[in-house]
Chain A
Amino acid sequence: DGGITQSPKYLFRKEGQNVTLSCEQNLNHDAMYWYRQDPGQGLRLIYYSQIVNDFQKGDIAEGYSVSREKKESFPLTVTSAQKNPTAFYLCASSIVDYFLTDTQYFGPGTRLTVL
C-alpha cells in the first residue's frame, strides 16, 4: 500500500535537546511538507521541499531544520532553539504539477511533548 509514514507516534523531549521526526513516503511524490498543529489553530507550514537536495522555509521555520537527501524521506529536526515545541507535527507529500493542481496527502502525525 502506498502512503506516508511518520515515526515515532509519540515523542518526549527534555528541554535543550534536539529531536528528529521521521517522514517517509512511497507515493513517488516529488514534494514534501512539514506542518505544525496546535489546538484551536490551523496547520502552519514549517518547511517544504519540491525536489531532492532543495528545501524552502515556510511560515514558522525558526527553531527547525530539515534535509532532503532522498526523494522518499524528509526528516524534521526540532532544535533547542524552538521555544515552544510541544505540538502535533504532520508531514505531507504531493506531486509537483505545472498547473499547481497538486493535492497534499498527509501522514498520521507525531505528537511531541517537551518535559
Chain B
Amino acid sequence: AQSVTQPDIHITVSEGASLELRCNYSYGATPYLFWYVQSPGQGLQLLLKYFSGDTLVQGIKGFEAEFKRSQSSFNLRKPSVHWSDAAEYFCAVGVPAGGYQKVTFGTGTKLQVIP
C-alpha cells in the first residue's frame, strides 16, 4: 500500500525568505503526486500536480515542486514567501486501485509566516 510522509508538522519562516516543504512517499512505482493548500476552516486548493514528464512542476501562487525518483520525494518550494502563504499544506499521492485513482494524503505541514 502507498503512504505519504510529511516530516515537518510545523514550519515558521520570515516573510521574503525561501520555503521548502518536504514530502516523501512509498510506492512500488511512480505515483501521481499532488500538493494542496488549506486555509483555516476552508477546503483544499490544488497548488500543482505531477503525472509524468518534466520533473520540475510549476504551480499557482509562485509555487513549484520537484519530483526526485531516487529519493521518493516531491518537495514543494517557493523562492520568497508572502504573509498570505500562511496555511496548511498537504502532499498527496494517487495510485491505481481497482479502476479508480486512490489518493492518499499526508498529515500536513502548517506554515507560519512572521514579518
Q: Which A residues are within 8 Å of any B CB, using their own CB?
A: 4, 6, 31, 40-43, 45, 48, 50, 90, 92, 94, 96-97, 100-109, 111
Q: How far is the CA of A45 from the CA of B1 in the complex (A)?
A: 15
**In the complex, what distance in Å separates the CA atom of A102 from the CA atom of B46?**
12
Residue pair B107, A40 in contact (C-beta under 8 Å): yes
B94 and A106 contact, CB distance less than 8 A:
no
- Shortest C-beta distance, B107 to chain A (Å), equals 5
Can you list 14 contacts pairing A with B, beta carbon distance less than 8 Å? A42-B4, A42-B104, A43-B90, A43-B105, A45-B102, A50-B100, A97-B101, A100-B94, A100-B101, A101-B32, A103-B34, A103-B46, A107-B43, A108-B42
Number of residue pairs across A and B with beta carbons under 8 Å? Answer: 53
Contact between chains at B43 and A90 (CB < 8 Å): yes
Contacting residues, chain B, for A92 (C-beta < 8 A): 44
Q: Chain B nearest CB: distance from A77 CB in Å?
A: 20
Residues 12-51 of B, flagged 1 when their CB comes within 8 A of A and 0 if not, give: 0000000000000000000010101000011111100101
Chain A positions within 8 Å of B100 at CB level: 31, 48, 50, 96, 100
A31 vs B102: C-alpha distance in the bound complex, in angstroms?
12
